[in-house]
Amino acid sequence: MGWSFSPVPEALFPVNPARRLCFHRSNFRNFFVVPGFFTLCCLALLSGCGVRRPVVDRGSAPPLVPAPAPRAEAPVASPGKPAGSKPDVSAGSRYVEEGNASWYGLPFHGRRSSNGEVYDMNRMTAAHRTLPFETMVRVTNLSNGRSAVLRITDRGPFVDNRVLDLSLAGARELDMVSTGVARVRVEVISHLDPVAIAAAYFTVQVGAFRERANAERLRDRLLDLYPPVYIQTYDSPDGTFYRVQVGRVKGEDEARKFGETLRQREGFTPIVLRVDEPAKNGGQP
């Protein structure tokens, strides 16, 4: 069926009367579709002339590589020995270790050191867990290169990640009073008798309590498993503490192995200490 339109008034557009304006379907499609397509093309060209947006690179970004985790602080032995091993004190060797050092002053000034003498914070002394009393050590602050020679007169520090406690005088020489803690290198400069070292006895501290009853409960639990077990009374400026110490082991190497056994089996943080004469330290086993 064809489509038809009324003729256009001849008064407006003179045409041949014999030729009527008549549209069929095909003519109607050409009349509207072709101009419509032309209009779309114009719009596309106009849109292309608009303001250009910045181009974003969608390429894949390089993978993020996490920074390596910091390694735990651990003593470093003499050259040639792995980090964390006990420094060699055999004949002809040089005792060297690295780790964190702290200092102690007024609260302990005037009190007894572990070797029996009165602690004077203005003298060049230090506390070490296993070196014999009267050992002379050169301590170097690894952050600034300053060093000092000190004498071992006391036991400590009783913190797992530290290797030495200096007097206030020693801390001043190393310029570490304000920081409180510094990474140091400890070198023994006096003679160490390897025979006496091998014959020395050591114990492992596994806890310190303000209440003696708590220390006694831990002692009773460990006594049948790891005899002997001691309670050492320590009169500190902050009050009395009761330290639980396990075992009496000959040789520092064996004591460290024993401490690692206690860590794995019981979850303790072991502190290996030399067993000194009871008359000099006020009751240590």
Domains (ranges, CATH) in the chain? 96-193 (2.40.40.10), 200-281 (3.30.70.1070)
DSSP H/E element including 28: helix 25-48
At position 45, the amino acid (one-letter code) is L
Question: What's the mean pLDDT in 52-70?
Answer: 35
The backbone torsions φ and ψ at residue 79, rounded to the nearest 5 degrees and listed phi first, read -50, 140
Residues ≥6 apart with Cβ < 8 Å to 150: 124, 125, 126, 136, 137, 139, 166, 167, 170
pLDDT, residue 92, reads 46
Round to whole Å and give the CA distance between 152 and 88: 18
pLDDT, residue 107, reads 87
Round to whole Å and give the CA distance between 136 and 41: 94
Is residue 37 a contact partner of residue 15, using CB atoms and an 8 Å limit? Answer: no
The backbone torsions φ and ψ at residue 167, rounded to the nearest 5 degrees and listed phi first, read -70, 170
pLDDT, residue 87, reads 55
pLDDT at 44 over 70: no
Percent of the chain having pLDDT more than 70?
A: 64
Q: CA–CA distance from 151 to each of 12, 44, 115, 263 (Å)?
A: 124, 90, 11, 31
Tally of CA atoms within 13 A in the half-sphere of 61 that contains its CB = 4
Q: CA–CA distance from 4 to each of 16, 17, 284 (Å)?
A: 17, 16, 122
Round to whole Å and give the CA distance between 147 and 165: 14
**Mean pLDDT, the chain, integer:** 76
pLDDT, residue 57, reads 36
pLDDT, residue 32, reads 44
pLDDT, residue 278, reads 58
Per the listing, tokens 């996490």 go with: 66
Give the single-character DSSP code of 124: S
In this structure, the strands spanning 147-154 and 125-127 are parallel
Per the listing, tokens 């690295």 go with: 98
pLDDT, tens digit (0-9, with 9 covering 90-100), for 252-270: 999 999 999 999 999 999 9
Round to whole Å and give the CA distance between 76 and 260: 18
Question: What's the mean pLDDT in 44-70?
Answer: 38
pLDDT, tens digit (0-9, with 9 covering 90-100), for 132-176: 999 999 999 999 999 999 999 999 998 889 999 999 999 999 999
Round to whole Å and give the CA distance between 62 and 35: 51
Round to whole Å and give the CA distance between 3 and 160: 101
Q: CA–CA distance from 279 to each of 243, 273, 282 (Å)?
A: 18, 17, 6
Which residues face 244 on adjacent strands?
207, 231
pLDDT, tens digit (0-9, with 9 covering 90-100), for 71-130: 333 333 333 333 334 555 444 458 899 999 999 998 899 998 999 999 999 999 999 999
Round to whole Å and give the CA distance between 134 and 120: 15
